Structure 1
């Protein structure tokens, strides 16, 4: 049986009396999309920050490709293969599409930021960046300023930046946010194929996308996983209906 690419073991994080994550243990298997869903305030963002290194848990471990990365920085985890896209865009709006992708490639190869301009002339970095842009369908926009992209294209660019890391796992925080129905449909199709390159831990409120994509779904409520299962199992769970889905199931 395959080993998880990414796993958390008993993650706990409290803010005063608030238990933001409560003994959270989840895993992500090869070629899988594992969705994390739950109401606002359930602890999803706190969980993602702990996985990616932006927030240290009070207790518990994060394991990536068999390596305990619990004490590692965000940058070290990224170089180890954790590719992240954000709920709110983290792109450099005044730079071009290609420049944003090169920034990601620099991080992948550990190039110092002070060499940023010279990196635009480095063949290896350019090749990595351009390959990622081609992969997401943005090659023709390489010289477009990021601020001039549509919202959907910025989501594609975030994925391209993550791809420059040659990720072993993707962490995607609400990639459908702000997209219309057609944009969500296109991105859903793209993510469905992307799982073959690296599995995806997906935090998403768009239930149509979640049910279309996820091999497994974990439901987080008040910091605790109350259920994990297939889409059909989650739909049919009375506890999940009462806590979150309601009529959406």
Structure 2
């Protein structure tokens, strides 16, 4: 039996009297998209931050690729192959598309973010960054300043930066946020192809996208997972409908 690439066990996190994570256990299998959904304020982003390493759980463990990474930093987890995209863009807006992709390669290699003049002559960085841009169909935009991209293209670039890490898994926090119908459709198609390269733990509010993409869905309410199953399982779960989906339908 193939072990999950990612496993969170008994994750607990509180901020004073506010419980953000209550004994959360969740895993991500090879070749799947596992969506995490829930109302605003249910603790989804806090949980993703604990998986990524920039928020330490009060209790519980995170295992990635067979290793306990609970005490490791964000950078260490990224070098191990944990690729991440953010709810709010983290791209360097004044850099070109190619330079942003190269930052992803630097992150994988563990290099210091040096000045770009010598770095731009580094064939290893250039070739790997261009491979990532081709995978998201941005190869014709490499000289474009990132601030001049459309919102949808910036989402594609975030995926390219994550791909440059050669990830073993993706963590994606609301990648559809702010996209129109066409942009969402394009990103859904991209994520569907990506999951065979690296499985995706997806936090998303767009229920049409979630039900189109997810192999499994977990529902988080008040910091606690109340159900996990297929899209059909979640749609038909009366507890989920009353706690969350009823708001959306």
Please classify the TM superposition score into its range, dividing by the shorter chain length: over 0.9
Cα-to-partner distance string for 1:200-223 (whole Å, 9 max, x where unaligned): 000000000000000000000000
What's the counterpart of residue 25 of structure 1? 25
- Indicate conservation of the 8 Å contact 1:103/1:116, yes or no: no
**Distance (whole Å) between structure 2 residues aligned to residue 41 and residue 231 of structure 1:** 22
What is the aligned residue count? 249
SS class of match (1:63): strand
**Cα distance change on mapping 1:148 and 1:66 into 2, 3 Å:** same
Q: CA deviation at 1:21?
A: 0.2
What's the counterpart of residue 6 of structure 2? 6
**Distance (whole Å) between structure 1 residues aligned to residue 176 and residue 125 of structure 2:** 29
TM-score (normalizing by structure 2): 0.98
**Distance (whole Å) between structure 1 residues aligned to residue 120 and residue 102 of structure 2:** 7
Cα-to-partner distance string for 1:140-166 (whole Å, 9 max, x where unaligned): 000000000000000000000000000
Question: Where do residues 66-81 of structure 1 align in structure 2 (5 Å cutoff)?
Answer: 66-81=66-81
Cα-to-partner distance string for 1:84-142 (whole Å, 9 max, x where unaligned): 00000000000100000011110110111235432211111111100000000000000
* Structure 1: stretches of 5+ with no match in the other structure: none
SS class of match (2:114): helix
What's the counterpart of residue 41 of structure 1? 41
SS class of match (1:114): coil
Cα-to-partner distance string for 1:28-51 (whole Å, 9 max, x where unaligned): 000000000000000001000000
**Cα distance change on mapping 1:108 and 1:116 into 2, 3 Å:** farther
SS class of match (2:60): strand
**Distance (whole Å) between structure 2 residues aligned to residue 54 and residue 247 of structure 1:** 31
What's the counterpart of residue 189 of structure 1? 189
SS class of match (2:241): helix
**Distance (whole Å) between structure 1 residues aligned to residue 175 and residue 181 of structure 2:** 13
SS class of match (2:156): helix
Cα-to-partner distance string for 1:165-201 (whole Å, 9 max, x where unaligned): 0000000000000000111011101100110100000
What's the counterpart of residue 164 of structure 2? 164
What's the counterpart of residue 65 of structure 1? 65
What's the counterpart of residue 143 of structure 2? 143
- Indicate conservation of the 8 Å contact 1:36/1:219, yes or no: yes
**Distance (whole Å) between structure 2 residues aligned to residue 115 and residue 82 of structure 1:** 25
Task: Report runs of 4+ in structure 1 exceeding 2 Å deviation.
Answer: 114-117
SS class of match (1:49): helix
SS class of match (1:113): coil
- Indicate conservation of the 8 Å contact 1:50/1:57, yes or no: yes
* Structure 2: stretches of 5+ with no match in the other structure: none
Q: CA deviation at 1:5?
A: 0.4
**Distance (whole Å) between structure 1 residues aligned to residue 122 and residue 88 of structure 2:** 30
Q: CA deviation at 1:248?
A: 4.2
**Distance (whole Å) between structure 1 residues aligned to residue 137 and residue 99 of structure 2:** 16
**Distance (whole Å) between structure 2 residues aligned to residue 62 and residue 202 of structure 1:** 17
What's the counterpart of residue 56 of structure 2? 56
